Amino acid sequence: MDTADGRGELISLCGTVENIIYSNSDNGYTVFDLSCDEAPEGVGEIVTAFGILPELSVGEKLSVEGEWSFSRSYGRQFKVAYYEVRLPTAENDILRYLKSGTVKGIGPKTSERLVSQYGEDAFDVIENHPEWLAKLPGISQKKASEISEAFRAQHGVRSLMMYCREFLTASMSAMVYKKWGGASIDMIRSNPYRLCEEFSGIGFERADKLARSIGIEADSEFRIMSGIRYVLGENSRTGGHSFLPFGKLTAASAAALGVGQDRTSEAIGKLVDEGKLVRTGISGIDAVFESRAFRCESEIARKLELLDRLCAGVDAPDVGRFITQIELEESVRYADLQRTAIASALNSGVMILTGGPGTGKTTVIRAVIRIFESLDMKIALAAPTGRAAKRMTEATGREAKTIHRLLEMEFDGGERDSFRKNEDDLLDEDVIIVDEASMIDMYLMNSLLKAVKPGARLILIGDSDQLPSVGAGNVLNDLIASESFCTVKLTEIFRQAGESLIITNAHRINDGQYPVLNSSSGDFFFLQRKTDREVADTIVDLCTKRLPRSYGADIIGSIQVISPSRRGAAGTETLNNMLKEALNPPSPKKKEKPFRGVVFREGDRVMQIKNDYDLVWERDGKDGQGVFNGDIGVVETIDLPDEQMVISFDDRVVKYDFAKLEELEHAYAITVHKSQGSEYPIVIMPMYSSCPPQLLSRNLLYTGVTRAQKMVILVGDPAVVCRMVDNNCQIMRYTGLMRHE
């Protein structure tokens, strides 16, 4: 007989927990010894078992179902799939359980007194009659209450975990219990959709499955209202929208939930009345916002207007003198637009500097920094990503930080970023200069602005023709389009930069001209291939043979394959599998960890795909916190017994529990979106026909090409390159920054 998932029939065991070998409090993974009531055939009385069994304690009685597994290191073990736990009932077992220290506040002597006094009723006394517990020597009424509360919490968490075990992870259940306490199960029964609205990481789909399992109807008002917010959230997460038009929201919600638009329209009205949504006019559009998104855009606009209004400018003669002095000292001659940009930075509370590669943005910033330093003004340099901050440091000779580090990010377990620097603890700096500003979403921009003191200057640098931020909003382009703040766009390509075909072709692409593809020398190459499979095979050959043969084996670490899409014959999913097997093939010397359809192997190149502020890293003997979306590292070791993986991110070493592997994916090939803010010595891009048409766009090609420092190699069909250049249609984002009616 087979089980539903195709495995053999599950084996049942009953017994007592003798010893806890290993326990992970975050995910509930536990390795333990089970003393079986009836020894399995061919196996001793003591069985080593493992699985997700949170809050397990020595002395507890278990009924488990699972299957046998074999480990070279640890031999035969029992893998637990399902389990039920019971507190011991015999006095000797109760005494042993309490003596194990499982119940906080009860030691060996108190355990003996408690069991001696109350016998088999000991657990009932702890849980329900703390006043009786206080009659024992050495236990005050306060301590008895604390013991009782801790005991109820411990078993309450477990009850919640058991109730939600098919839908919530152990850490999710613990998070819920911490907030809702003993009422958790009742609150879930009354409205399970509160889970996705109040807790990070518990999405609507998970809550919906739980709700349906306990009989919540598909047309429940709770479900419709939560589903509408889910649709708004998904459009924000995947499309970058800060709002949706009312008609689109009602239709999309009705389709997603399988209800009529009259029901979704009515529910939107109720959510607006409750203050959870905001409905307002945006340039003639009937817009519906999550209240937080509406508040965020409004706060950004107000703070920017304040900064611009409070700026104290520098006298014009002084500006000219400063510029001339730097030109003499540096033996440079600034172009007219560069001089305009420098003067604008000195005289504006908010200034935007934009332009393509090779137009001298960095030259302007170096001049501005020197002038502000001569005026004894404190300057902060920042960028959205660690790689961008590192490049900014190298270009200016001054330390640049990530925006998160500048704001002193802290992890509080919430859904959104939390920063020590805010409106109550402002940054000291007089000038804040931010590079790669096109990557900043509206929430991060709002957090930054809250921490900027009134009277300080804000200079935003970015290429407005690149892809917008991955997160919600379109901050840089919205601010430029508003014409509310001084904006200088540099257009002249300087001689040295103009010698690079990468830069020349980048500007041709951006101007709607086809790039030069027939060059046989320089830094930009095109390899024509007929089929998508030939494209993928050629990319693997370039990475493993052709480039290492020409430039040496060390070049492999400098190559980054960047694809327009995850999907297709030359998308990142296919290329990652091919490149992994070619560059890091299986070996008896390399440990592996299968996880959700992929296999991580020692030596693999991987990327963090979400911000995780709880991960601890070590660098030069010092600890820090936080690994961020887009960080690329190498798997150094995989420790299967300890369920742990060690990854090196440049100079930071991070230990990943296996429960965190969902935050990682292979990075031999990455999407253009994931490459934003980074530069790589060599970029290889597939130009393949099976790529989704909406991704074959001009700004996506432009963004990919401008990620390269020394060499670009396009591989594929020249018609695809032309199609991308011709397609200047950008996916519309519904944003309201500076446009609220």
- Tell me which H or E stretch contains 63: strand 61-71
Buried b (16+ CB within 10 A) or exposed e, 130-156: bebbbebeebeeebbeebbbebbbbbb
For 548-578, the DSSP string reads: HHHH-GGGGGGEEEEES-SSSTTSHHHHHHH
466: nearest Cα among 445, 444, 436? 436
- 576 phi/psi in degrees, rounded to 5: -60, -45
How far apart CA 540 and CA 529 sit, in angstroms, is 13
**pLDDT score of 26:** 62
**pLDDT score of 6:** 40
Question: Bridge-partner residues for 119, per DSSP?
Answer: none
**pLDDT score of 416:** 58
Look up residue 622 and give its two tokens: 């010092």
- 2 phi/psi in degrees, rounded to 5: -105, 150
What are the angstrom distances between the C-alpha of 9 and each of 2, 65, 300, 335, 527?
5, 10, 59, 77, 54
**pLDDT score of 7:** 42
User: Other C-beta atoms within 10 Å of 364: how many?
Assistant: 26
Low-confidence ranges of the chain (pLDDT < 50): 1-7, 414
570: nearest Cα among 582, 579, 583? 579
Buried b (16+ CB within 10 A) or exposed e, 91-111: eebbbbbbbbebbebbeeebb
CB 572 within 8 A of CB 671: yes
What are the angstrom distances between the C-alpha of 552 and each of 7, 42, 443, 522?
48, 57, 44, 18
Q: pTM, whole model, 2 decimals?
A: 0.77
pLDDT in tens, 553-580: 999 999 999 999 999 999 999 999 999 9
